[in-house]
């Protein structure tokens, strides 16, 4: 029984899927599409640092002005993959937000 509890606690979280107006999308994909660009100087600096000195994760927020909804994003610097995405403000996307998400090709 203890093994099952441990396994469930370590299992990866399911994707943060949102469905509205016929558009289903993953919040991690929203994070990827709105990821801030690193400058060449920052990228060069990170490559020259010892891996132990580099923060493992960094984050940013994707604001949707129309609804006031915000998606909080965390990425792992070593792999450049989005590690986590969640709604941090607001509980839903409005029609204008969905149109913007649709235009970015994020609907599944």
**62-99 pLDDT, tens per residue?**
999 999 999 999 988 788 889 999 999 987 899 999 99
Q: Which domain range does residue 67 map to?
A: 16-103
Spatial separation of the C-alpha atoms in residues 64 and 93, rounded to whole Å: 8
Q: Is residue 45 part of a domain?
A: yes
- pLDDT reported for residue 62: 95
Q: What does DSSP assign to residue 43?
A: H
Q: Is residue 73 part of a domain?
A: yes
Number of domains in the chain: 1
Q: Is residue 2 part of a domain?
A: no
Q: Is residue 86 part of a domain?
A: yes
- pLDDT reported for residue 25: 97
Task: With beta carbons less than 8 A apart as the criterion, state whether 74 and 32 touch.
Answer: no
Average pLDDT over residues 36-60: 56
């Amino acid at each position: 029984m203890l093994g099952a509890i441990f396994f469930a606690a370590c299992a990866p979280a399911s994707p943060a899927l949102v469905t509205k107006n016929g558009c289903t999308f993953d919040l991690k994909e929203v994070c990827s599409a709105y990821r801030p660009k690193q400058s060449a100087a920052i990228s060069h600096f990170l490559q020259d640092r010892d891996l132990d000195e580099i923060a493992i994760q960094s984050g940013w927020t994707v604001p949707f002005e129309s609804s006031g909804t915000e998606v909080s994003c965390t990425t792992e610097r070593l792999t450049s993959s989005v590690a986590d995405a969640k709604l941090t403000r607001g509980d839903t996307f409005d029609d204008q937000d969905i149109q913007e998400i649709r235009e970015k090709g994020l609907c599944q």
